[in-house]
């Protein structure tokens, strides 16, 4: 593709978009306000599935399933190219009650997703799953749910983008977009005015700010999520463990992540004692091995929230050379590859894997 692109925002979405464009032969410059991959994409848990996938509309399922099917190969390629292991692991996810078994089973059957019903005694008989889990009734196991370690994935992807010839400029905030005659002519940045043939907004929770008067009716806003990290000498869980909105994610090295909150507090990225105590209490009730332990780290991130968790992907309705890939809310890591691919298909005229109209209606009337 003989075109050059400026991509604004270097989280997982900006990096994945850059990678897919570079693979098509485009010239790509990524502009990042701070350092690459240190916002929402760094803060997240790295579960490669919606929490209870049956709770979401088909528009979410299409993107997450398409991505999830490609993730293992993508991670292999990134690992090989960069030498950095994103720690992709099909650890499975155990959903603890309460849930509606009928809805979960129907959804899994109609989407070809494996689901097993497991009793508390089944769980306890498979250490290190193990004796310690407090289950009040049967649980549901989604054995094919995978996870990645976000900071590793982001470093691998950045390296891959640079190896493919992408240019990454950090500490380069875009202050506004200069447009006229249905086109963007340049962007004003900390490094002065920069120009390209086409521009893509991937600024996560800040996407509306970057668009300024061109945001139209776009409904993307920050929703804070807080996380706790615990360290065990060996992993206390084999699967990701989920109960309602609370999840525990075991890493290979004995780290255990506990998340998360959903807080509408604007761009405040602080952490709170209330959230820490609630997460800790919920996690200790599910996994008594956590009793008496204190988290070694506590952080938050700002998710790019959008209605029904449906991101906006595609061309701006008024500016021909402006595109967006943003609003992935709770599942931007999972959706990253699918979203990047469908945007690049649109840019290059390639066939789409499914109807992408639902991702182009986020600009409002
Ligand atoms: C606590 C938590 C847990 C999560 N868990 C999961 C999970 O398990 N699975 C999953 O799939 N998803 C999860 N998510 C969601 C996922 O992390 C996000 O959907 C995803 O990271 C969004 O990626 P992004 O690249 O759009 O945003 P970001 O990672 O926030 O990147 C946007 C980038 O744009 C930059 N930027 C902003 N303004 C400007 C500007 N003016 N100029 C230049 N650059 C700018 C920012 O500095 C930032 O680096 C979680 C999120 C949180 C917070």
Question: Going edge to edge, which strands form the sheet with 4-8?
Answer: 167-169, 27-31, 4-8, 198-201, 322-326, 312-315
Residue 16 is part of a domain; what is its CATH number?
Answer: 3.50.50.60
Q: Could you tell me which of 281, 336, 327, 275 has the C-alpha nearest to residue 75?
A: 336
Q: Calculate mean pLDDT across residues 185-198.
A: 96
Q: Tell me the CA–centroid distance for residue 204 and ligand 1, in Å.
A: 5
Question: Across the chain, where does the E strand assignment appear?
Answer: 4-8, 27-31, 93-95, 116-118, 139-142, 167-169, 174-180, 183-189, 192-194, 198-201, 221-231, 240-243, 246-250, 255-259, 297-305, 312-315, 322-326
Q: Tell me the CA–centroid distance for residue 40 and ligand 1, in Å.
A: 3
The pLDDT value given to residue 155: 98
Give the mutation target among 303, 305, 343 for probing the ligand 1 site: most ligand atoms within 8 A of CB. 303
Is residue 277 domain-resident? Answer: no
Is residue 68 domain-resident? Answer: yes
| pLDDT tens-digit readout, 145-172 | 999 999 999 999 999 999 999 999 999 9
Q: What is the pLDDT confidence band of residue 202, given thresholds at 50, 70 and 90?
A: very high
Q: What is the pLDDT confidence band of residue 365, given thresholds at 50, 70 and 90?
A: low
| pLDDT tens-digit readout, 71-103 | 999 999 999 999 999 999 999 999 999 999 999
Q: Which domain holds residue 343?
A: 1-89+146-220+308-365
Separation of alpha carbons 130 and 121, rounded Å: 9
Pairing of the two strands 183-189 and 192-194: antiparallel
The tally of domains found in the chain comes to 1
Is residue 71 domain-resident? Answer: yes
- pTM: predicted TM-score of the whole model, two decimal places: 0.97
Separation of alpha carbons 199 and 341, rounded Å: 16
Separation of alpha carbons 249 and 247, rounded Å: 6
Q: Tell me the CA–centroid distance for residue 353 and ligand 1, in Å.
A: 25
Tell me the CA end-to-end span of the chain in Å, nearest whole number: 32
Counting atoms of ligand 1 from 1, which one is nearest the CA of 330?
15
Is residue 117 domain-resident? Answer: no
Is residue 241 domain-resident? Answer: no
46 lines ligand 1 (CB under 6 A): yes
Cα dist. 18→12, 21, 131, 137, 169 in Å? 10, 5, 45, 46, 13
Question: Above 90 in pLDDT, residue 128?
Answer: no
Is residue 70 domain-resident? Answer: yes
With a CB cutoff of 8 Å and minimum separation 6, the contacts of 245 are 51, 260, 262
Counting atoms of ligand 1 from 1, which one is nearest the CA of 203?
34
Is residue 285 domain-resident? Answer: no
Separation of alpha carbons 153 and 176, rounded Å: 30
Cα dist. 213→49, 165, 231 in Å? 34, 33, 46
Contact 154/18 with Cβ under 8 angstroms? Answer: no
Is residue 106 domain-resident? Answer: no
| pLDDT tens-digit readout, 278-324 | 999 999 999 999 999 999 999 999 999 999 999 999 999 999 999 99
């Amino acid at each position: 593709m003989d075109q050059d692109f400026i991509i604004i925002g270097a989280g997982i979405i900006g990096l994945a978009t850059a990678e897919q464009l570079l693979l098509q032969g485009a010239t790509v410059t990524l502009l990042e306000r701070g350092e690459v991959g240190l916002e929402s994409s760094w803060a997240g848990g790295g579960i490669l599935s919606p929490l209870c996938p049956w709770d979401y509309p088909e528009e979410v399922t299409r993107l997450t399933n398409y991505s999830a099917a490609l993730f293992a190969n993508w991670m292999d390629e990134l690992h090989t190219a960069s030498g950095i292991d994103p720690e992709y692991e099909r650890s499975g996810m155990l959903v603890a009650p309460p849930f509606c078994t009928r809805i979960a089973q129907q959804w899994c059957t109609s989407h070809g997703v494996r689901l097993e019903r497991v009793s508390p005694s089944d769980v306890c008989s498979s250490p290190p799953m193990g004796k310690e889990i407090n289950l009040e009734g049967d649980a549901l196991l989604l054995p094919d749910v995978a996870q990645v370690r976000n900071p590793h994935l982001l470093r691998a992807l950045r390296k891959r983008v640079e190896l493919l010839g992408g240019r990454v400029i950090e500490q380069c905030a875009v202050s506004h977009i200069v447009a006229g005659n249905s086109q963007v002519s340049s962007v004003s940045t900390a490094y002065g005015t920069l120009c390209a043939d086409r521009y893509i907004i991937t600024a996560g929770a800040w996407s509306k700010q970057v668009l300024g008067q061109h945001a139209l009716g776009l409904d993307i806003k920050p929703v804070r999520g807080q996380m706790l990290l615990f360290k065990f000498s060996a992993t206390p869980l084999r699967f990701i463990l989920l109960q309602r909105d609370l999840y525990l994610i075991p890493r290979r090295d004995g780290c255990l992540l506990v998340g998360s909150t959903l807080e509408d507090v604007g761009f405040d990225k602080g952490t709170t004692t209330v959230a820490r105590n609630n997460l800790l209490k919920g996690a200790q009730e599910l996994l008594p091995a956590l009793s008496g332990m204190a988290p070694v780290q506590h952080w938050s991130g700002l998710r790019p929230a959008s209605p029904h968790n449906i991101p906006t992907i595609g061309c701006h309705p008024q500016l021909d050379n402006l595109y967006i890939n943003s609003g992935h809310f709770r599942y931007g890591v999972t959706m990253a590859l699918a979203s990047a691919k469908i945007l690049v298909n649109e840019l290059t005229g390639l066939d789409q894997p499914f109807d992408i109209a639902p991702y182009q209606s986020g600009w409002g009337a």
